[in-house]
Structure 1
Amino acid sequence: MNETPHTTELRSEPVTVIGLGLMGQALAAAFLAAGHPTTVWNRSSGKAAELVAAGAVLAPSPDAAVRAGSLVVVCLSDAAAVHDVLGPHRDALAGRTLVNLTSGTSEEARELTALTTSYLDGAIMAVPEVIGRPEAFLLFSGEREAFDRHRAALQRLGTATYFGEDPGLAALYDVALLGLMWGTLNAFLHGAALLGSAKVDASAFAPFATRWVGSVTEFITAYAGQIDRGAYPPEDATVETHLATMKYLVRESAAAGIDTDWPARIQALAERALAAGHEGTSYASLIEVFRGRA
């Protein structure tokens, strides 16, 4: 397929990646593979060796790195590190778009906008190994015009989704999704420990766990609609029904000598919802507990 001049221009947009941990290296490698002239910088220059061998340019300083790219992607340990590395180079950032892919809070994301007039905050929902493939998805928020201008380059990293002008939204989505991950993994680990007390291998439990998690996603979709409407009809089961079964989980855990903290916390949330008057409602009504209204 013949490339148009516009396509060639998009592929040749110069990109800078600052921070070469495992994720930063993966980001730079994806830009290189897509044909972008890529400049990199890291405090420890040795981490750039493989990228330089693949065609990247190692900048001698953060200032030189910033000036080399029209799109500057930073992936460091935290927001303080971003301020430390880029704060002294605001003049170099002028006229360039800064994309912060460093994990942090929504407030930290908003504060980093002071570094430049063109800013996007982002979150990477993927492991380094899948960066550059569609299954990697990245969340962005901040300046709409900057996202539109650099969308093609950002899509080289994975599936890029834009959430709005508030630069803190991507960070909020990030922690919300990570909470979902940890909740799911904690539930699996507790279940594996519980079944392990009966000499059931975790690998035997895993297929049933993944199948059930798939079914639970249907509850998520249904409950999201209830939450948005602010009404919680018990279309599947009431909070009371859930609570009765939760007590069995606590009792089984205690009997097997398995830590009861996780199931006891789940039970306590349901009890608080009932105490606040949510009898006869669906499990979705527990959101009022999380909102601090119960």
Structure 2
Amino acid sequence: MTNDNKPRVVLLGLGAMGTALAQAWLHAGYPLTVWNRTASRAEPLRALGADVAATAAEAVAAGTLIVTCLMDDASVEDALDGADLVGRDLVDLTTGTPNEADARAVWARDRGARFLSGGIMSSPSMVGVPEAGGYVFYSGSRELLDQHESALAAVLGVRYTGSRPGSAALYDIALLSAMYGMFAGVSHAFALVREEEMPLKEFSGLLTSWLTAMLTSNDTVADQLDSGDYTRDVQANLGMLVSGFRTFEVAAREQDVDFRLLAPYLELLEERLGQGYSDEGTAGAIGLLAKSA
């Protein structure tokens, strides 16, 4: 049941994430208009009370708050081609690059719309479940976010990253990059022990607790980067780390495991060590990744 005091949300895109967002807005009592290129995906939402538009332009005409959750940036432009965006607020939750979001903000402004970019840090199952901890990075117009924060927070937590439209995408990709890097290490770890006696579920528990404990080092790295002192509070210096890492490579060969997932990181640390920074931790190597450094 919708609440007349709540603004209408217009949602374009009903993939797994878009559908979860739609269901959460309906559950929270927001009037909702939806559109999807494959029209059949909208029918279950019609049964839940959503209005279903035949075209994206028709959907946009139904409200002021327009949310896009589409395949990619090109899909956003294609879907909104011909839609009247004058006076609309466009919130783009489509996964893309920072530069794409910056360009899309200019594109929206030229069409008379305010723009907010979002990076979703959630799986569909976390949407509408506050205790699950999912949230969206938002960047761009702070005024727009303040105006619509209640509606946006009804489905996922809200975290503002700054006025640059592309910053939400940047933080989204930064966190996901760290996640996939962790997955690479986890894959390597399972490959090493896959044929040993310990049950893999037992090893999984050990792996989870170890990684959780090690994540506290993130704050130390941040402090070192902020201060420029890469030797501050170092628990294991670069000389020790590289020596140990080379042992990992030998052990991988002994276990008939390809070292390709970890080799690039060893090469990076070896390069920094070769520059004479044996007393540092790993923070100094981060500068080697920044091509402008």
So what's the TM-score if we normalise by structure 2?
A: 0.93
Between the two proteins, the alignment pairs up a number of residues equal to 284
CA deviations on 1:184-231 (whole Å, 9 max, x unpaired) are 111111101101142444312111111111112210011101111111
Contact 2:224–2:232 (Cα < 8 Å) also in 1? no
Distance in 1 between the 2:263 and 2:36 partners? 46
The Cα shift of 1:67 comes to 1.3
2:276 corresponds in structure 1 to: 277
2:93 corresponds in structure 1 to: 101
Counterpart among 222, 225, 244 of residue 224 in structure 1: 222
1:144 corresponds in structure 2 to: 142
Distance in 2 between the 1:93 and 1:31 partners? 22
Counterpart among 16, 39, 47 of residue 45 in structure 1: 39
Distance in 1 between the 2:195 and 2:283 partners? 32
Distance in 1 between the 2:249 and 2:292 partners? 26
More moved, 177-186 vs 228-237: 228-237
1:233 corresponds in structure 2 to: 231
Matched, 1:127 2:123: yes
Distance in 1 between the 2:272 and 2:53 partners? 56
Identity %: 35
Cα–Cα, structure 1 residues 290 and 33, in superposed 2: closer, same or farther, change >3 Å?
Answer: same
1:16 corresponds in structure 2 to: 10
The SS at the match of 1:95 is: coil
Distance in 2 between the 1:162 and 1:199 partners? 48
The Cα shift of 1:234 comes to 5.2
Cα–Cα, structure 1 residues 28 and 34, in superposed 2: closer, same or farther, change >3 Å?
Answer: same
The Cα shift of 1:276 comes to 2.4
So what's the TM-score if we normalise by structure 1?
A: 0.93
* 1:189-200 map, 5 Å: 189-200=187-198
The SS at the match of 1:157 is: coil
1:260 corresponds in structure 2 to: 259
Q: How large is the Cα RMSD of the aligned pairs?
A: 1.5
Contact 2:8–2:32 (Cα < 8 Å) also in 1? yes
One-letter amino acid matched to 1:102: T
Structure 1 unaligned regions, length at least 5: 1-7
* 1:68-87 map, 5 Å: 68-87=62-81
One-letter amino acid matched to 2:19: Q
1:3 corresponds in structure 2 to: none
More helix by share: 1
The SS at the match of 2:145 is: helix
2:156 corresponds in structure 1 to: 158
More moved, 209-218 vs 167-176: 209-218
One-letter amino acid matched to 1:144: R
One-letter amino acid matched to 2:33: T
Matched, 1:57 2:54: no
Distance in 1 between the 2:200 and 2:159 partners? 35
The SS at the match of 1:184 is: helix
Contact 1:249–1:263 (Cα < 8 Å) also in 2? no
Distance in 1 between the 2:264 and 2:203 partners? 23
Q: Which runs of 4+ in 1 moved over 2 A?
A: 197-202
The SS at the match of 1:68 is: coil
